[in-house]
Structure 1
Amino acid sequence: MEPSAAATVTLRDVAAASGVSISTASRALDERGTVSRSATAVHVRKVAEELGYRRNSFASSLRRGETRTLGVLVPRLSDTVMALMFEELERAAADRGYFAMVATSGDEPDDERRAAETLLDRNVDGLILATARLDDELPRLLRERRVAHALVLRTDGVSPSALGDDEVGGYLAVRHLIDLGHRDIAVVTGPSFTSTANARLDGARRAMHEAGIELPDNWSIAGGYGIENGFAAGDALLDGGAGRRPTAIFAANDNLAMGVMAAAHRHGLSIGADLSLVGYNDIPLSSRLPTPLTSVRTPLAQIARTAIDLIIDPNKEPRVSKSMPTLIPRESSGHPQGQG
Structure 2
Amino acid sequence: MSQPAVVPVTIDDIAKAAGVHPATVSRALRGVSGKVSPDKRAEIERIARDLGYQPNAVAASLRTKQTNIAAIVVPDLGNPLFGPLVQGLEQALRQQRLLCLVVQTPAAAEERRELIVALANRQVSGLLILAAECDDPMLEAARQRALPTVLINRGTGDRHFSSVVSDDRESVRLVLEHLAGLGHRAVAHVAGPAVSSTGRARREAFVEMSRALGLGPCPVVEAKAFTRAAGQAATMQLLDSGAQGSLPTAIFAANDLIALGTLDVLRQRGLSVPRDVSLVGHNDMPLVDLIDPPLTTVRVPVEGMSAQGAALFLEHLRDPALAPSTRVLMPELVVRSSTAAPTAA
Match status 1:198 vs 2:200: yes
Unaligned runs of at least 5 residues, structure 1? 1-5, 17-21, 28-46
Unaligned runs of at least 5 residues, structure 2? 1-6, 19-24, 31-45
1:128 is paired with a residue of what secondary structure?
strand
TM-score (normalizing by structure 1): 0.79
Aligned residues: CA RMSD? 3.3
Contact 2:193–2:224 at 8 Å: present in 1 too? yes
Give the equivalent residue in structure 2 for 1:335. Answer: 341
Alignment CA distance shift 1:144-1:180 (3 Å):
same
Partners of 1:111 and 1:174 lie apart in 2 by 39
Give the equivalent residue in structure 1 for 2:239. Answer: 238
1:70 is displaced (CA, Å) by: 0.5
Q: Where do 1:122-141 residues align within 5 Å?
A: 122-141=122-141
Give the equivalent residue in structure 1 for 2:87. Answer: 87
Larger Rg computed on CA atoms: 2
CA displacement 1:295-318 (0-9 Å, x = unmatched): 111112221222222322037896
TM-score (normalizing by structure 2): 0.78
Partners of 1:176 and 1:52 lie apart in 2 by 65
Partners of 2:264 and 2:237 lie apart in 1 by 12
Contact 2:252–2:279 at 8 Å: present in 1 too? yes
Contact 1:171–1:205 at 8 Å: present in 2 too? no
1:85 is displaced (CA, Å) by: 2.5
1:144 is displaced (CA, Å) by: 3.6
CA displacement 1:85-113 (0-9 Å, x = unmatched): 22222222212221110111234321211
Match status 1:221 vs 2:222: yes
Q: Where do 1:177-196 residues align within 5 Å?
A: 177-196=179-198
Partners of 1:162 and 1:338 lie apart in 2 by 41
Match status 1:119 vs 2:125: no
Aligned residue type for 2:100: A
Partners of 1:272 and 1:243 lie apart in 2 by 17
Alignment CA distance shift 1:320-1:215 (3 Å):
farther
Match status 1:56 vs 2:55: yes
Give the equivalent residue in structure 1 for 2:296. Answer: 294
1:227 is displaced (CA, Å) by: 0.5
Aligned residue type for 1:333: T
Give the equivalent residue in structure 1 for 2:270. Answer: 268
Contact 1:165–1:323 at 8 Å: present in 2 too? yes
Contact 2:113–2:141 at 8 Å: present in 1 too? no
1:124 is paired with a residue of what secondary structure?
coil
1:209 is paired with a residue of what secondary structure?
helix
Number of aligned residue pairs:
308
1:57 is displaced (CA, Å) by: 7.9
Give the equivalent residue in structure 2 for 1:147. Answer: 147
Sequence identity percentage: 31
Partners of 2:243 and 2:147 lie apart in 1 by 53
Partners of 2:140 and 2:82 lie apart in 1 by 22
1:60 is displaced (CA, Å) by: 5.9
Partners of 2:133 and 2:51 lie apart in 1 by 47
Q: Where do 1:285-324 residues align within 5 Å?
A: 285-314=287-316, 319-324=325-330
Give the equivalent residue in structure 1 for 2:22. Answer: none
Partners of 2:67 and 2:117 lie apart in 1 by 16
Give the equivalent residue in structure 2 for 1:176. Answer: 178
Alignment CA distance shift 1:183-1:51 (3 Å):
farther
1:313 is paired with a residue of what secondary structure?
helix
Partners of 2:133 and 2:154 lie apart in 1 by 8
Q: Which sits farther off after the overlay, 310-319 or 182-191?
A: 310-319
Alignment CA distance shift 1:172-1:9 (3 Å):
farther
Aligned residue type for 1:327: L
Q: Which sits farther off after the overlay, 175-184 or 57-66?
A: 57-66
CA displacement 1:36-71 (0-9 Å, x = unmatched): xxxxxxxxxxx99x9696763836666554221111
